Amino acid sequence: MSMDAGRIAGTARIVVIGSGHSAGRLIAQLKSLGHSGRIVLIGEEAHPPYERPWLSKSMLTEPVEPALPAILPDLEGVEFRPSRQAVAIDRKAGRVRLEDGSDEAYDILVLATGLAPRRLALCDGLEDRVLCLHKLDEARALRARLGQETGGGSVALVGAGFIGLEVASSARQLGCAVDIIEKAPLPLMRALPEALCRRIAALHEAEGSRLHLGTGVTALAPEGDGVRLSLENGCHISAKTVVLGMGGTPRDALAREAGLDLADGILTDAAGRSSDPQIFAIGDVARRRSGTTEAAGLRLESWRNAEDSAIAAAAAILDAPPPPPPGAPSFWTEQLGQRIQFIGQPVADGELWQSDEAFRPGYGAFLMRDDCLHQAVFVNAPKVMRAAREAFRRDGRIAADTLSALGFRRI
Ligand SMILES: Cc1cc2nc3c(=O)[nH]c(=O)nc-3n(C[C@H](O)[C@H](O)[C@H](O)COP(=O)(O)OP(=O)(O)OC[C@H]3O[C@@H](n4cnc5c(N)ncnc54)[C@H](O)[C@@H]3O)c2cc1C
């Protein structure tokens, strides 16, 4: 079906599947660019689009549940279909079918379906105490369990990625005993250079968490109102609550069944257009090809990417000028009492330069290879962060002299 550009710019019927972060930002952007056609938002959650980062942070630690960080100030002009799942796309007819049997016609379809958290196939019957943390309702359930346990409860985290480590920090803050179980030899190994992973592991231990590294979970069994975990290394752990933080997989089943091009996510161009020009994909589920990532594309799971991909897609849908290309990928996390920021991506055989021995406010680390910056990590260090952003905006090149002048030393 060919698109009528005049109809698309301004009045098209736009259907969005998934009512998470990128969907919210897309709709806000469509409205601010003057879209006046129908917008239908289909979301399996009951809530309007909200930001997720607080779910593993203040949502768990604040004495009173914080207000929902909603992305849209209101839903005016949006036909919101909450608590409903989209189950099929009929590309020929330009329609989306919902699980309740209804369907929606689209001129433009946007897939903003995010990730499905990985679960353990060992949890049958333990769903009330073995939790994932991706949605508000799951965070509420975890909050309620941690709240009951203040000052004496126990939590086991399966997976030492960002979410697992944030929950560990939050639970320690609440006085819970914390066990962190990770199959890899160190936490965060996919995201950071090894020296930093080692340091973060040591800091979590210093904060009072017990780390079980290089081992997986082989069995979960009920034990009173908690769980007994058996590990590959022969150890057993008892915990009131288990949180699974094992990453997620892109929710691309609808796109697969509709015959779109996929490669660990839905393949799109820089504006989010999939192999069908009437269908866009944004946020965690999309693998964007742009600039330097032309062939393989890049799939990112971050707040920044949810924003950037949604803004680029809104411009393309309405035929508005494209936003400037996104800078190097960036991410932040809050744990160990610090806000830690990252720009760029890790590389093998890099040299690590750091500004300080202690991981405290002002700390910065640069991962370099062949005089080129690949990743920078900061703890509340705006000056160093500006230097890194500048370098990434150019070609990433930084001479060793410049690093020394910034107070960095190679480790
Ligand atoms: C606990 C947590 C903490 C995080 N902390 C940080 C952080 O500190 N820093 C950072 O940069 N990023 C963080 N992130 C990542 C960031 O929140 C995500 O990258 C972002 O939410 C991705 O947005 P999205 O729109 O792609 O997906 P999501 O926001 O996950 O939304 C996807 C939505 O689609 C719905 N959906 C899926 N399939 C269907 C269907 N068939 N029909 C209807 N609805 C469907 C889902 O239920 C969900 O509501 C965190 C994420 C989590 C979960």
Percent of the chain topping pLDDT 70: 95
Q: What architecture does CATH give domain 119-246?
A: 3-Layer(bba) Sandwich (3.50)
Residues in contact with ligand 1 by the CB-under-6-Å rule are 17-23, 42-45, 52-53, 55-56, 85-86, 112-114, 133-134, 163, 251, 254, 283-285, 301-304, 306, 331-333
Predicted pLDDT of residue 8: 54
In the numeric block, which tokens belong to residue 239?
């915990």
Is residue 1's pLDDT more than 50?
no
Highest mean pLDDT, choosing among 107-116, 137-146, 196-205: 107-116
Residue closest via CA to ligand 1's atom 5 equals: 53
172-191 residue pLDDT tens: 999 999 999 999 999 999 99
* Nearest atom (ligand 1) to Cα of 285: 26
Question: The tokens of 169 are what?
Answer: 């920090």
Residue 92: CB atoms within 10 Å: 7
363/377 Cα distance (integer angstroms): 8
Q: Where in the chain is the domain with CATH 3.30.390?
A: 337-410
Indicate the average pLDDT of the chain.
92
Q: By alpha-carbon position, which residue is closest to atom 27 of ligand 1?
A: 114
In contact, 348 and 369? CB cutoff 8 Å: no
pLDDT digits (tens, 9 = 90+) for 209-252: 999 999 999 999 999 989 999 999 999 999 999 999 999 999 99
Tell me the pTM.
Answer: 0.95
Tokens standing for 183? 């199959």
CA 118/CA 132 separation, integer angstroms: 8
User: Could you tell me where in the chain the CATH 3.50.50.60 domains are found?
Assistant: 5-116+249-317, 119-246
Distance in angstroms (rounded) separating the CA atoms of residues 244 and 246: 6
Q: What is the pLDDT of residues 308-325, one digit of tens each?
A: 999 999 999 999 999 998
State the maximum Cα–Cα separation within the chain, in Å, rounded to a whole number: 66
Check residue 406 and give its pLDDT: 81
282 CA distance to ligand 1 centroid (A)?
11
CA nearest 29: which of 325, 322, 327?
322
Cα 336 to Cα 169: distance, rounded to the nearest angstrom: 6
pLDDT class of 137 with cuts at 50, 70, 90: very high
Q: Which of the 8 DSSP states describes residue 291?
A: G
Q: In angstroms, rounded to a whole number, what is the distance separating the alpha carbons of residues 17 and 1?
A: 20
Q: What is the distance in A from the centroid of ligand 1 to the CA of 157?
A: 20
What fold characterizes domain 5-116+249-317? FAD/NAD(P)-binding domain (3.50.50)
Amino acid at residue number 202: A
Q: How far is CA 249 from CA 56, 115, 252, 268, 301, in A?
A: 19, 5, 9, 17, 10
Question: What would the two tokens of residue 54 be?
Answer: 């607080």
Contacts of 397 (CB under 8 A, 6+ apart): 371, 372, 373, 391
Which of 181, 235, 238, 231 has its CA nearest to residue 209?
181
Q: How many CB atoms within 10 Å of residue 200?
A: 22
Look at the alpha carbons of 309, 310, 312, 313 in this order and tell me if their dihedral is positive or negative: positive
Section 283-309 average pLDDT: 89
Domain 337-410 CATH assignment equals 3.30.390: yes
- Region 261-269: mean pLDDT is 96
> Ligand 1: distance of its center to the CA of 114 in Å?
5
Backbone angles phi, psi at 220, to 5 degrees: -125, 135
300 CA to centre of ligand 1 in angstroms: 11
Q: Which residues of 357-385 are buried (b: 16+ CB within 10 A; e: fewer)?
A: eebeeebbbbbbeeeebbbbbbbebeebb
Do the beta carbons of residue 123 and residue 67 sit within 8 Å?
Answer: no
